[in-house]
Structure 1
Amino acid sequence: MADFFGEVVHPNSRAFWTEDDDESEEAGDTTVSFTIDWTETCPEKMKTLIIAETPLIKDFIEQSVIQDHKSICSITSQNSKESSRIHRLPNDVFLCLIDSHINLTIAGDFIEAISPILSKSENTIAITCNHVSQLKCGEKAPELSFIRSLSTRGVTEKQRNFFPVLSQPNIVAGVAAGVISHAEVMNLPGTLAVLYLDGFELDSQSAQPLIKLFKELLSYDLKDFNVPSSLFLEKGNLYM
């Protein structure tokens, strides 16, 4: 694995496991299964597959990118009524919006379920976001919002340098990180883009890094994009 690519770090303590986790392990297999339903024929190849997670990124895409492009595939888990959706965009680009119920504990099962789809992509882009307080390199935030990236060995030099590299010892978790780890293991081109926000809102100004990214990915004019006035980042366990 390339030296600029993040490593997978497993917990060295059981301090974060709960009694429920122990009970689940004793109960047997806890694998979550997923059902993949295509409303049209599954493409043999995809020029670009974009994987997007977190409610803020999804809301931005739904309001500003998808427009009239209907879903062609749904990916549903046995434990959720919601589903992840794949949309076909112009220029042989496919966009997968990840169900918000797919958390860290079942991200691996989800990646395994969609691995046949990931293998069809000639270039995979995974997008997620974090608050800038999660950036651990001591770097000052250059702007209200900015993107840092990680790339697999298979990407071109242009793709690798499109955004500054996410420095060590930062860790990215979730489906987006799992997708790019899968691409690295399978020797496929893939890039992880992490949007860092200095606040908890995404407006026309802080959305500029996303607009730049999608303009590059979609290769067509963004004049019809309707940037929402304000979207909000889930605070999770952040206390400001």
Structure 2
Amino acid sequence: MATFFGEVIPISTRAYDEEEDEETVSSVNVKLSMNSPGQLNCSALIVAQGALACDFAESVLKTEDTKIIGSIEVERERIEKPEYTEFHARMPVPCHLYQTPTDVIICIASKDVTADVANKFSEKILSVIQHTAPVVVISSHHCSALLGHYASGEDCIIKSLKSPEFNFKTVFPRLPQPATLDSVPAAILTSSIVTRRPCVIYAIYTEAYSTGDLDLIASPLMTAFKCEPFKTLVSQTLDKSKLQSYRRKNVRQENIDRYM
């Protein structure tokens, strides 16, 4: 019986990962308005990451009296310039910082805050607030990140993690293992644990990111902000009718009739 099937010849290919060939240096910088001090007067910090979480912060948490006080910008510098290409790099989007009349700082994390700069981002945002100010991170994810800890058909699942210094009751159950959090939520929680800050993470899991999903997460998240330590700081501004304005704006240009 023949056991030799011929010589193995490797096939050449031009396919490659362009990102692997480009070394970059990333910097994260805080830019505050001229009237803002180096360390902000902060009663609480809310950081939003992910499409749904950012939409909730922009649409529900912000008020008419909320003012923009600065931004956090991620700058990436290529060490080796790539060869000419017809593709143009997307312009980076800053993470806007807002301040409410009750001195709650809201940070909207842009897509440029990726896992590789999450620690730098965490260091920068925590450096401009008081050590005692409670921190809450709301992040949105696909339900597959729960690694099977959900029943098919569940519209919205919210889990939580907190630092030992967060001495308040969490509205939602603890994130089950082996599911984990990474990027911004993990970086801020880790830094809060090390520096002994009160911090809680509310991770939102849905099957899609659409205008209708914001309606699903609004009520439970509002419940969380109506509890201590955010009750006197945020709850008075929570109004579900703000979602109607969000639907009218239709930032994502969706056909939202099916969600009404």
With the length of structure 2 as denominator, give the TM-score of the two structures. 0.69
Instruction: Using the TM superposition, give the Cα deviation of residue 163 of structure 1 relative to its aligned residue in structure 2, in angstroms.
Output: 1.2
Selected match of 2:124 from 92, 96, 113:
113
Contact conserved, 2:133 with 2:198, CA < 8 A, in 1? yes
Using the alignment, how far apart are the partners of 1:140 and 1:78 within structure 2? 41
Is 1:165 the counterpart of 2:161 in the alignment?
Answer: no
What aligned pairs does 1:70-81 form with structure 2 within 5 A after superposition? 70-79=67-76, 81=92
Choose 1 or 2 for highest CA Rg.
2
- Identity percentage of aligned residues: 23
Is 1:60 the counterpart of 2:69 in the alignment?
Answer: no
Is 1:47 the counterpart of 2:43 in the alignment?
Answer: yes
Using the alignment, how far apart are the partners of 2:218 and 2:103 within structure 1? 24
> What are the Cα deviations for residues 172-223 of structure 1, in whole angstroms up to 9, with x where unaligned?
1121221111101111110111011134332423432223233443131534
What aligned pairs does 1:41-190 form with structure 2 within 5 A after superposition? 41-42=36-37, 43=39, 45-68=41-64, 69-79=66-76, 81-136=92-147, 138-140=149-151, 143-158=154-169, 161-190=170-199
- Structure 1 119/170 Cα, relative in aligned 2: closer, same or farther at 3 Å? farther
Using the alignment, how far apart are the partners of 2:67 and 2:220 within structure 1? 25
- Any idea what SS the aligned residue of 2:57 has? helix
- Structure 1 33/129 Cα, relative in aligned 2: closer, same or farther at 3 Å? closer
Which is helix-richer, 1 or 2? 2
Match of 1:205, as an amino acid? L
Instruction: Using the TM superposition, give the Cα deviation of residue 76 of structure 1 relative to its aligned residue in structure 2, in angstroms.
Output: 1.8
- Any idea what SS the aligned residue of 2:242 has? coil
Q: How many residues get paired?
A: 209
Aligned-pair Cα RMSD in Å: 2.7
- Structure 1 189/137 Cα, relative in aligned 2: closer, same or farther at 3 Å? farther
Selected match of 1:222 from 224, 238, 258:
238
Gaps of 5+ in 2: 1-16, 77-90, 253-260
> What are the Cα deviations for residues 78-127 of structure 1, in whole angstroms up to 9, with x where unaligned?
34542111111233311111122111122222223334125545200011
- Structure 1 166/38 Cα, relative in aligned 2: closer, same or farther at 3 Å? same
Match of 2:68, as an amino acid? S
Selected match of 1:197 from 206, 210, 214:
206
Aligned position for 1:38: 33
Contact conserved, 2:147 with 2:179, CA < 8 A, in 1? yes
Gaps of 5+ in 1: 1-17, 233-240
Instruction: Using the TM superposition, give the Cα deviation of residue 141 of structure 1 relative to its aligned residue in structure 2, in angstroms.
Output: 6.1
Contact conserved, 2:115 with 2:182, CA < 8 A, in 1? yes
- Structure 1 35/187 Cα, relative in aligned 2: closer, same or farther at 3 Å? closer
Match of 2:33, as an amino acid? W
Q: Which moved more, 1:46-55 or 1:113-122?
A: 113-122
Is 1:211 the counterpart of 2:222 in the alignment?
Answer: yes
Contact conserved, 2:45 with 2:106, CA < 8 A, in 1? yes
Match of 1:222, as an amino acid? L
Instruction: Using the TM superposition, give the Cα deviation of residue 132 of structure 1 relative to its aligned residue in structure 2, in angstroms.
Output: 1.3
Q: Which moved more, 1:185-194 or 1:101-110?
A: 101-110
